[in-house]
Amino acid sequence: MKLTRSLVGAIFGALALALALGSPLVAQTSTVAKLVAEPAAVTMRAGDSLPLKVRALDANGRDVRDATVRVFGSRRAVAWNNGMVTAFQAGNHTLTAIAEGASGMIQLEIPVVITWPPIGKLDIVVAEGRLYTGITLAHSVKARHPDGTERPSPVPAWRSSNPAVATVDRFGNVRGVAPGTTTITAELDGVQATKAHTVVRNPVTSLVLGVRDTTIRTGDVLKLTATARQADGRSVTDAPITWSYTYVPDDSLAPSGLPGGAGIVQFGLFAGNYPGRYTIMARSGSAFSETTLQVRPREVRRRIAVTGRGSITNTHTSDLWPWTGKDGRDYALVGTWGGDGYAFIYDITDLNNLVKTDSVRIDARTINDVTVSPDGRYGALSREGASNRVNGVVILDLANPAHPKVAATFNQELTGGVHNMFATNDHLFAVSGGAKYVIIDVKDIYNPKYLSEYRHPNARLHDLWVHDGIAYSAQGGAGTVVVDVGNGKYGGTIEQPKLITVYPVNSGHEIYPYFQAATGKTYLFIGDEEMNRSGRVWEGTSYFSQINTPGGPPQTSGGFVHIVDFTDPKNPKPVARYHLEDFGAHDIIVQDDVLYHAYYEGGVRLVDVSGELLGNLADQGREIAVFKPYDPKGYTPNAAFVMNAMPWKGHVLFTDFNSGLWSARLQPKQNLTP
């Protein structure tokens, strides 16, 4: 059966998830000819779960009892697990069931209509400042369902009880017109909230700007400050100030025109995307002031050159992890995707000559993730698609790093495939079937012990990273789930993890927390990984039926990296992104203010993330270097699909889905000739 284009990427992206739920897709003793859903379509409310059974039938309509059927949907909107469908987001969605038939993959699309629960409570949120005449104050709403969950992006109807005093537009912007009183009302689904205002005459007659920098680089963030003053010189501390800018492009850009969005004004900050002169303007009522800045090119680009290869072309390559062995030499552990459970060990001491020293084979179809403890004492391989459906993790003894041996296999509470892991010296965090993460005591790697776990309700866990005793996890249907697993500040321990907060970002794949020393900020980098490009200008190619066929069409992906200021975990703020429309985000590492990004068919990308961050980094000249690996003998020839990238001793190591392990190095920055 031919797959629809809208499902191509989604199926590939969900294949690893499917394998996590059981054994690999293999031919059945009875041939599947048809899939039937009971019920055939589902209507439900967000937050609810309902039973949904999918039967595999042969050509005579009889049940194929040993059939392996996988059911999946958008991890952000709807999910299926163990016969239950769970709804996350309102809209018209589709679950897709697949099973292997005689002539290829059999698929069934199951319509799922999800509605929101009724609104239980509505609150109006008002921007800081007082409503004077001639001033506009932004109003928004927080809408909550009866169970306390928040309605995303609510759009209420707004009205003012006295438009002669203050008006309100459909976006909730309230403008003071004349002295007096009025009540602003927001209404959504029959629920109302009100905010009373007393408008007084605006005392502001002048603005004194506190913007001092006159020359900055593209992407540099400038704090916007101004003091509102009355005629007698006294300051007006509660007067809202509105910021804007005009732009004259740099000579190098003027001849070819300029894309929109030359700069960003947000959160009381400014950043210029492109070089040129920006006139920053402040206004409060009739008071007005301005100043002009010069924004110069960032000039961070450097050449990147390949220094070594660990070629793998007979199967797909997944993850890598470098470490320094007990013998003082450097090594890399490399996993395979759909590679019959093989992992490879490379000696990378000479990054110009990567040498494979050994391999380890385990009972798995895919080793999606590999990791090594910080002290180099043990390694771990995740298992998906094991023959016995148990999966779990395999722990390696790295005492002889060139030739590791299996120390133990651990599967307690790891009932599904393990897609991702995180290792500390004493503990291994393992994602169990997308449902939870299990914390394993590995002080004795030959006798690992179950210690604790964390499961978040109504979510689909994909990745986690632990920093300073806090576990940050990407969970579809919920967002970023932050848990105290030993930090202690928020009441959690490694034995009893405790939830700190949930950041409801519409993304649930890769995650990396980064403490930036220069600013004292903690930034959270959250990657989408959207394998389905349906609805985009370039939708990509239909390749699932050939994903395990050498020489098939190139893979495609979408999505980008969200950058959130997580300095205060209780008050996270989305501030920036790294977004390239035609490619998709995968693994993320940040070190020394450089983002090392595996951007799938966009290659390995190194990005300057120094200083405060605002807006789209891809627009600001922050990209340092990009390399798209190619190999005419690759599993898919000359097709880049970078899975993982990590900095290592002045180099960047990365794995490509189609061609194996690579090493590259940035060349010294060349001085520009005037």
Residue 155 maps to which CATH number? 2.60.40.1080
Per the domain annotation, does 670 fall within a domain? yes
Q: What CA dihedral angle connects 237, 242, 248 and 252, to 10 degrees?
A: 90
Asked if residue 382 has pLDDT above 60, the reply is: yes
Quick one: 158 and 271 in the same domain?
no
| SS3 (DSSP) at 505 | coil
**CB-CB neighbours of 390 under 10 Å:** 16
Q: How is residue 538 written in tokens?
A: 């370039």
**55-72 pLDDT tens trace:** 999 999 999 987 878 887
Per the domain annotation, does 34 fall within a domain? yes
Last residue of a domain, one of 271, 296, 321: 296
Quick one: 183 and 243 in the same domain?
no
Overall average pLDDT of the 244-249 stretch: 86
Last residue of a domain, one of 115, 147, 181: 115
Asked if residue 644 has pLDDT above 70, the reply is: yes
pLDDT given for residue 542 in this prediction: 56
Overall average pLDDT of the 558-576 stretch: 92
- Give CA separation, 38 vs 10, 85, 111, 307, 467, in Å: 23, 12, 12, 56, 44
Q: What share of the chain is helix, strand, coil (3-state, %, to 5)?
A: 5, 50, 50
Quick one: 644 and 556 in the same domain?
yes
**313-370 pLDDT tens trace:** 999 999 999 999 999 999 999 999 988 999 999 999 999 999 999 999 999 989 999 9
Quick one: 544 and 646 in the same domain?
yes
Per the domain annotation, does 144 fall within a domain? yes
pLDDT given for residue 553 in this prediction: 81
Per the domain annotation, does 9 fall within a domain? yes
Say if CB 418 and CB 464 are below 8 A apart: no
Domain with 61, as residue range(s), is 5-115
Where is average pLDDT lowest: 254-258, 512-516, 518-522?
254-258
Per the domain annotation, does 588 fall within a domain? no
Residue 98 maps to which CATH number? 2.60.40.10
Percent of the chain with pLDDT strictly greater than 70 = 92
Asked if residue 506 has pLDDT above 80, the reply is: no
Quick one: 557 and 619 in the same domain?
yes
Asked if residue 544 has pLDDT above 60, the reply is: no
Asked if residue 98 has pLDDT above 90, the reply is: no
Per the domain annotation, does 489 fall within a domain? no
pLDDT given for residue 73 in this prediction: 77
Q: How is residue 396 written in tokens?
A: 């390696």
- HSE at residue 53, side-chain half, CA atoms within 13 A, is 5
Quick one: 9 and 111 in the same domain?
yes
Quick one: 69 and 190 in the same domain?
no
Quick one: 45 and 164 in the same domain?
no
Per the domain annotation, does 135 fall within a domain? yes
The confidence band for 4, taking pLDDT boundaries of 50, 70 and 90, is very low
Asked if residue 670 has pLDDT above 90, the reply is: no
Asked if residue 194 has pLDDT above 80, the reply is: yes
Per the domain annotation, does 634 fall within a domain? yes
Q: Alpha carbon 145 to chain centroid distance?
A: 26
**CB-CB neighbours of 489 under 10 Å:** 11
pLDDT given for residue 666 in this prediction: 95
Quick one: 91 and 188 in the same domain?
no
pLDDT given for residue 47 in this prediction: 84
Quick one: 153 and 224 in the same domain?
no
pLDDT given for residue 573 in this prediction: 93
pLDDT given for residue 386 in this prediction: 87
Quick one: 545 and 610 in the same domain?
yes
Number of domains within the chain: 4
**32-63 pLDDT tens trace:** 999 999 999 999 998 889 999 999 999 999 99
Quick one: 152 and 85 in the same domain?
no
Find the farthest-apart pair of alpha carbons in the chain and give their distance in angstroms, rounded.
92
Last residue of a domain, one of 151, 166, 199: 199
The confidence band for 82, taking pLDDT boundaries of 50, 70 and 90, is confident
